[in-house]
Structure 1
């Protein structure tokens, strides 16, 4: 196993890794082998030069920590030059934010990550630029400018209509006696993708970064490329144009790296997401599932996740020719942190993680969730410095923003690394399960009924094994009888993995301690 596990992690994992060969078949709509990604806000993660701002060299210096988690890749939030702290308004698509380092620093990060078999994907924000981008500055200079048609201006659009911005903000903004479209904010003017020169340039941008060694992109605001207005964003014409653009983008990337991974931010229903997976995106984030997992952990009431996901995956498989992979997460940089959403309950946080990391699809973990960092909106408070040490002052810790949610320091790498029952080591345990059991990384998911509303249960299977996963969401021990029925004919004969050595399987009676996850292996 390539992971670097501390003594605390090894002690915790030891009670769960009861491994043996498995058999029995999966079903037709299997999800391929899936990865786990660690989302990093570079400004907050690790500082290498003492200026209080996280940087690329800081991440490189902490790759062994990232590797010890058991993740397969990292997602870097925007690293290109930008006037904003967050970077989602780019001024140079081919550059590196000087706060974060240089191209040479980025090259080193890519090299060192790949040396550890860690993939690197980066945020690519192409729906809009910064108002300070040279393209927009030129576009705003007059109707005869070279880049005038790279943005949408009211005077050439037939007036500023409609006006219902699809992101809930004013869509039109004044500049030099005219108005331009920027659905998120006046500082983020939308690019005009009806212009073939814009599309050609953005394909070129994607190709450039693939040539630098990145393994793919997280695509910001993917459904808004042609989605400026509420009045039209759900129209067939707009949806078809969005789909066509991402297919064009994919075709361009295929010329450089056909295996590049594309995951889109499409904050919408399954029906809207599906077409984006047709020869375009590999994944789209499953926002509905994130809410379900948090809600189930918080309420201690089970949901039939297996039933829901099996239907979603069947639909995605049909849309993508079997190529789509779900993108799972609990929260991200735009949402209140998991521990805050769960009101500080560490047991609930463990169960949310357990569910996330035993489901099929690429799993995304927002930096600090593995420690139990807290934080609620505004955005700066959910993007705070990462706590490496119990006491403030660690040279690697960033100071660009006060760490108001730091508490007494027990939520930190130093405090949790060698503590067997820490949340950090719980994440390591579940990620190790995924690595060692292929059926937990890919395969299929199906419903399994226990008749106990405190137990989330589902079947995970691939061509070689069939596993039953059960999570006791409650603070009370639970006992269930694993009876074989016509609907559930498989017999599960062995306790394969558990987060508590007090779990037991005697005959067909399964005892699950409070806040515990178990995996059972089917009879040979």
Structure 2
């Protein structure tokens, strides 16, 4: 089976030595053919990194870009195809979402030469790099905003200013007050905080400046961007929620941005943070961007893992993937995830239940598109708001004082030394081993990355399933979400006649039925 002693031993040796070997796993002849004929050997999985918390190479307690480079072989062994770096630009804040220079590197993280070296080393390993693009607003310390406070400066119109007719009590679309005060009594639009004044995208100079920022980084060699607050370029007030004209303005701008960056790199991947509550609201964005993060699906996946109930998850998946394919013009355009830097960590949402965490991961990583994994998720790191506690240091060694561990903030999660790369490498039954196994399934079976999804009616409330089909493979994925054995009838004439991959020993296919051990996922061919 996939979960063998051989896998565990190769995982340990490859990662401890910093290597990137892929552990061989026994496969059926059909699965071998799938792996050989797949259009790409990559998994399609992206991994989100908060550089400050990742790995420290100069001993100042703060993660740095050289630390990302130092751990590329870990990421290669994990099997990811790309990384998303949270903001790396200069900023007065710890998180970096208020930028003071769009074409420079935060000096706490290193230099532009360090970043260029990271890009080169990542690309050598077949790992793409996308960076956070925070252009809805600047820092209030950005030179543009400082200049804009002079009404006669050209930058004044790069921001939005209140007039005598403005309702200064208006609520922002982000939930707080929209207008922020200067000491002289004037007010400017800042929907997230006083430290983040919104740019005025009705000004052509602003639009051109931000296209130029994207082109600058594209010329550096980045493979794409994660767009922060993508829907808030024009959506500023609560009263504008659901306004089709605001949506149209947002999409028009992002199409302009996409044309600009793709003139440099036609393959630029752009994924937007669009915090809508349904897939129908997300679908229009797929015509303007490569993808958007699927927040509604994240909630559904975590809820299914927690409850052990399939509900109508498979049917909902079929609807949303069909809708996204219609908008994007191709299947597999989704960007599913479980949690990110703004949400309580998955293990905390699941109350520390490791079995539920494994099932959430299994569902995520058997969905087509580009799943995103938040750093430390593969270890089972915990964390609940406030936000700094969601972004705590990655644990590499059992000791938090080992060389390379970041110490910019103390841990509040209560995770012990067993929640570390060092400890989980030594445990063939660890969550880390599961993540690596599942991600490597995506290397082996192209339909897991690129397939069109069709719901499978399992007839069992504890088993969720879907068929995936592309030009190279057709598979049925089943997940037993419960802690008890479950059985599913495949139906007369089912084309699925063999278990190609299984997360646990003991699954059996006989007489048109499959028996699934507790908390087990299988891929049938």
Residue 501 of structure 1 is aligned with which of 496, 502, 505? 505
Unaligned runs of 5+ in 2: 1-6, 14-21, 35-40
Q: Does 1:96 align with 2:93?
A: no
In the superposition, relative to structure 1, how do residues 226 and 34 fare at CA in structure 2: closer, same or farther (>3 Å)?
A: farther
Q: Does 1:314 align with 2:322?
A: yes
Report 1:298-309 matches (<5 A): 298-309=306-317
Give, in angstroms, the shift of residue 436 of structure 1.
0.6
Q: Is 1:22–1:464's contact at 8 Å kept on the other side of the alignment?
A: no
TM-score, structure 1 as length reference? 0.92
> Using CA pairs below 8 Å that are at least 6 residues apart, which structure has the higher relative contact order?
1
Give, in angstroms, the shift of residue 406 of structure 1.
5.0
Q: Is 1:16–1:501's contact at 8 Å kept on the other side of the alignment?
A: no
Q: Is 1:19–1:496's contact at 8 Å kept on the other side of the alignment?
A: yes
TM-score, structure 2 as length reference? 0.92
Give, in angstroms, the shift of residue 314 of structure 1.
2.0
In the superposition, relative to structure 1, how do residues 503 and 8 fare at CA in structure 2: closer, same or farther (>3 Å)?
A: farther
Q: Does 1:382 align with 2:390?
A: yes
Deviations 1:46-101 (A, max 9, x none): 00000000000011001111111100000000000000000000000001000100
Residue 361 of structure 2 is aligned with which of 347, 353, 365? 353
Which one has the bigger helix percentage? 2
Residue 517 of structure 1 is aligned with which of 515, 521, 524? 521
Q: Does 1:40 align with 2:23?
A: no
Deviations 1:447-485 (A, max 9, x none): 11121111111111112322111111111111222222x
Residue 279 of structure 2 is aligned with which of 266, 270, 276? 270
In the superposition, relative to structure 1, how do residues 24 and 443 fare at CA in structure 2: closer, same or farther (>3 Å)?
A: farther
SS of residue in 1 equivalent to 2:302:
helix
Residue 195 of structure 2 is aligned with which of 187, 200, 219? 187
Residue 179 of structure 2 is aligned with which of 160, 172, 182? 172
Unaligned runs of 5+ in 1: 26-31
Report 1:213-228 matches (<5 A): 213-228=221-236
Q: Is 2:89–2:102's contact at 8 Å kept on the other side of the alignment?
A: yes
Report 1:363-382 matches (<5 A): 363-382=371-390
Distance in 2 (CA, whole Å) between partners of 1:276 and 1:288 is 15
Give, in angstroms, the shift of residue 10 of structure 1.
8.3
Report 1:137-156 matches (<5 A): 137-140=146-149, 142-155=150-163
Q: Is 1:443–1:461's contact at 8 Å kept on the other side of the alignment?
A: yes
Which runs of 4 or more aligned residues in structure 1 lie more than 6 Å from their structure 2 counterparts after TM superposition? 13-16, 22-25
Deviations 1:345-389 (A, max 9, x none): 001100000000001110000000000000000011110001111
Q: Is 1:8–1:420's contact at 8 Å kept on the other side of the alignment?
A: no
Give, in angstroms, the shift of residue 271 of structure 1.
2.8
Q: Does 1:340 align with 2:348?
A: yes
Distance in 2 (CA, whole Å) between partners of 1:283 and 1:17 is 34
Q: Is 1:182–1:188's contact at 8 Å kept on the other side of the alignment?
A: yes
SS of residue in 1 equivalent to 2:238:
coil
Distance in 2 (CA, whole Å) between partners of 1:23 and 1:61 is 33
- The answer to which of 442-451 and 188-197 deviates more is 442-451
